[in-house]
Amino acid sequence: EDQVTQSPEALRLQEGESSSLNCSYTVSGLRGLFWYRQDPGKGPEFLFTLYSAGEEKEKERLKATLTKKESFLHITAPKPEDSATYLCAVRGGSQGNLIFGKGTKLSVKP
Amino acid sequence: DTAVSQTPKYLVTQMGNDKSIKCEQNLGHDTMYWYKQDSKKFLKIMFSYNNKELIINETVPNRFSPKSPDKAHLNLHINSLELGDSAVYFCASSLQENIQYFGAGTRLSVL
């Protein structure tokens, strides 16, 4: 069965304190790994798509990487506005639907 | 000019009622989805639909039914609402299997 596990569930950082979020997955035939950001009361907002091991993508203070078993979302020198829940999802299998993890709630204190 | 819009944003109703949530996308996408996000914030696919095929998550009760009048709309009808249906429902759309774009969600409370 396709599965996505994110850790930690919650992460509290001081402004400027870099860290990483983990997304471990098992899927039959990966057809994309997706990172989304979700703010309270809003829908998920797309950040990155990764398709093959070794691939990396960057956007401002965020960098996503992918291996055959997991993905990391690295946050460099975070700011309070980076506070949100970060969701990881994979697409695989015959139906190709997105399977989401439970998310990591990130809080960045000034 | 919101890309994926859902109405209503909030829906409060009694057990046993029937309700609908509307979704519209103006991105020209060919596939639309409904997701349920429970109290633990876990986002789970309910349906995906394009012109050719409706794919139903087997765990979704048949009280839930998607209705698509055209490619830009996918409404969600729920019959005989139960307490456990309380959640946030998200609509999303994509061009085939590409990036899915989400609406802002509809918070359903069943009393």
What residues in A contact B104, CB-CB < 8 Å? Answer: 41-43
Beta carbons within 8 Å of B98's beta carbon, 6+ residues apart? none
Q: Which of B57, B61, B54, B56 is nearest to B85 (CA)?
A: B61
Inter-residue contact B30 to B50 (CB < 8 Å): yes
pLDDT per residue, tens digit, chain A (110 aa), is: 788 999 999 999 999 999 999 999 998 888 899 999 999 999 999 999 999 999 999 999 999 999 999 999 999 999 999 999 999 999 976 667 889 999 999 999 99
Classify each residue of A93-102 as buried b or exposed e, where b means 16 or more C-beta atoms within 10 Å of its C-beta. Answer: eeeebbbbbb
**Residue A45 touches partner B, C-beta closer than 8 Å:** yes
- Residues from B contacting A (CB-CB < 8 Å) are 4, 33, 40-45, 48, 55, 57, 90, 92, 97, 99-105
What residues in A contact B24, CB-CB < 8 Å? Answer: none
The amino acid occupying position B65 is S
A49-75 tens-digit pLDDT: 999 999 999 999 999 999 999 999 999
Tell me which residues of chain A, numbers 80 to 109, contact chain B at a CB-CB cutoff of 8 Å. 85, 87, 89, 91, 95-100, 102-103
- Alpha-carbon span A87 to A60, nearest angstrom: 18
Give CA angle at B70 (B69, B76), nearest 5°.
Answer: 50
What residues in A contact B92, CB-CB < 8 Å? Answer: 43
- Nearest by CB: B41 against A43, A85, A89: A85
HSE of A26 in the Cβ direction (CA atoms, 13 Å)?
A: 3
Averages of pLDDT over each 10 residues, chain B, 111 residues:
90 97 95 91 89 79 92 95 96 89 97 96
Is B2 buried (19+), middle (13-18) or exposed (0-12) by CB count in 10 A?
exposed
- Nearest by CB: A43 against B42, B90, B97: B90
How far B23 CA sits from the closest chain A CA (Å)? 13
What single string gives the DSSP state of each residue in B72-108?
TEEEEEE-S--GGG-EEEEEEEESTTS--EE---EEE
Q: Do A49 and B99 touch (CB under 8 A)?
A: yes
pLDDT at B9: 96
Q: What is the CA radius of gyration of chain B?
A: 13
